[in-house]
Amino acid sequence: MSLPIRRVADSPHIQSFGLKLLLAPLGILYRFWTMTIRLSYSDKEERKRICQTNEAVTIILWHNRLFLAGEWHKRFRKKRNCYGLISGSRDGAWLETFYGWAGIRAIRGSRNRRGSQATRELIRAVKNGNDAGVTPDGSRGPKYQAKTGAIFVARASKSPIVLLSFTYSWCIRLKSWDQFVIPLPFSKVEVKTRLLTYEKLFSDDNNDEVTRIVESSLLEITHD
């Protein structure tokens, strides 16, 4: 008689196939929802710069702007895949399902679950020509405060950073730590991005200074 397979202690939690099947209608609703959103750039030169950048990039955005991250990538960086680092916890398993709907490929790991290995996998993905998405205020905040680890993927992969934010005409804000923003169907959303080159940003080894630049620049393009 075969023995049951035990899950390795630090392996990420995963959603069962049955639960994913039950959630599938929500995924279809999400795809239709995001397709109705009108994403537009007021800065046409910046849009052109982002679309024509041939290098893989590290995309940095606040956690509360994640709802449209996948849709933005589909429209403006469609020639590349995008990977995101997600916690290995049960909450991370739910977020992985959401990422799948958004077209973002998940790499599972956190400080307590295979974090170093997952970060290396994310860096390898960028070196192999894929974009990566990072939220500098982490999964639990504080809101709009960047952590030094947020720039590590860009530094290690020697990739440019694209700061990404959205301004909404019509939205709801959840009562979460980050006031997560959900744009309503058929609303208009202004996209704001800022491209920071690797050479200019990492001209010295002061990670705290680079983090401060990323945080202040991202705040400049974020309007609540």
Burial class for 181, CB neighbours closer than 10 Å (0-12, 13-18, 19+): buried
CB 159 within 8 A of CB 85: no
Residue 111 has a pLDDT of: 55
Q: What is the pLDDT along the chain (224 residues), one digit of tens a residue?
A: 333 333 444 556 666 667 667 778 888 999 999 999 999 999 999 999 999 999 999 999 999 999 999 999 999 999 999 999 876 666 667 777 887 888 899 887 655 555 678 889 999 999 999 999 999 997 788 999 999 988 999 999 999 999 999 999 999 999 999 999 999 999 999 999 999 999 989 987 789 999 999 999 999 999 98
All domains in the chain, ordered by first residue: 17-220 (3.40.1130.10)
DSSP letters for 187-223: -EEEEEEEEE-HHHHTSSS-HHHHHHHHHHHHHHT--
What is the reported pTM? 0.88
Least Cα distance to 66 among 197, 205, 176, 207 occurs for: 176
pLDDT of residue 86: 78
Q: Could you count the other beta carbons within 10 Å of the beta carbon of residue 74?
A: 16
User: How much is the pLDDT for 50?
Assistant: 96
pLDDT for the residue 97:
81
How far is residue 42's CA from residue 221's CA, in Å, rounded to a whole number?
Answer: 12
Cα–Cα distance measured from residue 143 to residue 70, given in angstroms and rounded to the nearest whole number? 21
Spatial separation of the C-alpha atoms in residues 197 and 204, rounded to whole Å? 13
